[in-house]
Structure 1
């Protein structure tokens, strides 16, 4: 079950105001981003070291200013080529925040033994970007 956007925003405003009631479980899983764009993923290859680095970047729009964010490596899935998931984790502002759509550049990195990967970026359990093939750079 998905909450209407007006209820999701109500919970965010209540949380910012220091409300003490816990939001429903669905609200905790919801992704508050308004939009996302300009996603890129690539693998930096380090020949001879046996480890590569996968880098994912993008731009997200948030409903208010003051959000904290992390783009973290989540569980990988098997397949050919393997699929690596990155999860966008957001923390709402803890105090008063300007109610203005705020764009933020996000970036995540992780080590990988692979040089051929697929990448998925998720937020609140929903896919927001997918790369069927990731470019390798030296």
Structure 2
């Protein structure tokens, strides 16, 4: 077919040999964050006094995922180096194995970890490259 089109184009009849390709499918959208929705986030520092007391950052919230059976964890991510930092908390959701119903399911999530500062400017809850929430941080004495 190409040889025939080349010969036709040499004869000046290029419009007679238009090649068309099948429309390509749109690129598949991929996301490394399966969270459908997130809500009810809060962050505070537990600074209660007592023997062996340590300041603890506590972040809680809820995420909706596409099926039941996910394992949801919150871990500390990067914090900026300012005197009053912004701390990132990373949401990780591990898919269930096997056959599961396709029912949007709400999961509660909680992070408890050492407070790296006396006060935080904010906590950003991240899932992949997506910011789910930015929270003010209160201090409970």
* TM bucket normalised to smaller: 0.7 to 0.9
Q: How many residues align?
A: 113
**Counterpart residue number, 1:11:** none
Segments of structure 2 that go 5 or more residues without pairing to the other structure are 1-26
User: Which consecutive aligned stretches of 4+ in structure 1 deviate over 2 angstroms post-superposition?
Assistant: 46-51
Match of 2:128 in 1: 124
- Taking only aligned residues, the RMSD between alpha carbons, in angstroms, comes to 1.9
Distance 1:95 1:102 in 2: 17
Q: Does structure 1 retain, via aligned residues, the 8 Å contact 2:66–2:102?
A: yes
Contact 1:53–1:109 under 8 Å retained in 2? yes
- TM-score, normalisation: structure 1: 0.74
Deviations 1:17-71 (A, max 9, x none): xxxxxxxxxx4xx211110000000000144758310000001100111111110
2:45 to 30, 43, 46: 43
How far apart are the structure 2 equivalents of 1:115 and 1:47? Answer: 14
Inter-partner Cα distance in structure 2 for 1:63 and 1:69: 13
Contact 1:73 1:109 in 2 (8 A): no
Alignment partner, residue 31 of structure 1: 33
Asked whether the equivalents of residues 50 and 113 of structure 1 are also in contact (C-alpha less than 8 Å), the reply is no
Shift of 1:3: 4.4
Return the index of the structure with the highest Cα Rg.
2
CA offset at residue 77 of structure 1? 1.4
Establish whether residue 90 from structure 1 lines up as the match of residue 86 from structure 2.
no
TM-score, with length taken from structure 2: 0.72
Unmatched 5+ stretches in structure 1: 9-26
